[in-house]
Structure 1
């Protein structure tokens, strides 16, 4: 039986809860999308409607459902080597500077596609002597569920459609029989990447300094003041001269200083 319409007052209550708790910003125009993403979950739980679901996730004893709601409302399509110009720029920069020690941060890592893409790039560069052997990647996300999946490093083949055949052969294992159509990132790369839960709208402990930070395709969920606060918080973990990446469609964050644009969605932190 279809759910009743998501009423405006219930939607506003949900939007306020998400903004106050994790900084997510949902305009009135997003109401149909929010309703469609939550409806299957509400029906699966056997709840009477959206009002009952909001009451559940707003309560102290939600059984982890608030986190599930965050997952449902923020999970976008992701895949390996998304926006390849950023990986090309990073490769060019590192080939020029040839660092012997390197720390990268995938700050909204989702299922790990971005972090493992970076690991493939760095492994190639180490093999050709363009960077040293001391490198690692940190992937963080607000969702425990996606992080558990990221640690396993198992993906449908289509998510790796932009990975070259040579890299697939070097760094991935193809599934067979019951796992046909799946690919797992090899353990030697998974060991280079660690994942941890992090809410970017809360104070960030000392994680860095990092040589490059990827904060791509997450700012779209925040209102302008939250965007500025998140970027400024993240930049405290980036060394002067380091590279900072956002999604090319997200542009420059108004009010944030100390960044020099070097390409669409790519910046250098000033002060080197």
Structure 2
């Protein structure tokens, strides 16, 4: 099948649409990436080319297809207990708390839920051992409706659980059999502790928090510098003074106006 042509003007139009709607920012070097991600979708829909697809993206009645485009243009690679030193720090910090007051944690770019459920497993263990009280909750948000539906189901290829200890797998996961062989489902007692909701971090939001801990890992790579700063400051407004804030280790220091103290690579404390 012949390749679908993708002009510079069409690339700019799609870039403008995605930036305005969800804050995604693409340099000129990303043109081939966008073409490779969207061309198969255009062919599957039976469209003539990118011009027809752009018309769909600009049609407010085609929200589901716009969401599909967002899914195709973002990478949702993740796995359980990614960057384990962050979880070690979280456990140490929560164990050192003198009170057993309720805990509230936000996974602000939760993708398929691996991060949120990893945190829930840790907190469940800490509750059982008496290090924290019984009142704790986790919120996971993402812009993608598709990944949120998957997160709520809590079913994962077993490779995504490769860093979960054998003991936690036994207590918190159900191994699939028959047609579900090779997959595992997070147990209801963990899934019930995590609520998921759709949220665009690039737009103003209200009613969230205050949180004791916020994860914002491996999502800022999609934004330009001004959007990164706006997103980080907006998210940090929901974090309690003294609370922990996590970025991906490779993302460096958070560029923001909110005062932060570096605790370790990718981990920060909001100044009281």
Residue deviations 1:186-210 (CA, integer Å, cap 9, x gap): 0000000000000101112121110
How is 1:10-49 mapped onto 2 (pairs within 5 angstroms)? Answer: 10-49=10-49
Match of 2:89 in 1: 89
> For the Cα contact (< 8 Å) 2:236–2:258, is it kept in 1?
no
Between 91-100 and 4-13, the greater mean CA deviation after superposition: 91-100
Question: Structure 2-normalised TM-score?
Answer: 0.97
> For the Cα contact (< 8 Å) 1:98–1:130, is it kept in 2?
no
Residue deviations 1:74-120 (CA, integer Å, cap 9, x gap): 13311111111111110111111154211000000011000000000
Distance 2:78 2:257 in 1: 27
Residue deviations 1:22-81 (CA, integer Å, cap 9, x gap): 111111111111111112211111111222211211112325111110111113311111
Distance 2:99 2:2 in 1: 57
Match of 1:232 in 2: 233
Between 215-224 and 30-39, the greater mean CA deviation after superposition: 30-39
Match of 1:64 in 2: 64
Root-mean-square deviation (CA, aligned residues, Å) is 1.1
- 5+ residue gaps, structure 1: none
How is 1:68-217 mapped onto 2 (pairs within 5 angstroms)? Answer: 68-97=68-97, 99-100=99-100, 101-217=102-218
How many pairs were matched up? Answer: 271
Deviation for aligned residue 1:185: 0.2
> For the Cα contact (< 8 Å) 1:107–1:214, is it kept in 2?
yes
- 5+ residue gaps, structure 2: none
Deviation for aligned residue 1:238: 0.3
Distance 1:198 1:63 in 2: 15
> For the Cα contact (< 8 Å) 1:213–1:245, is it kept in 2?
yes
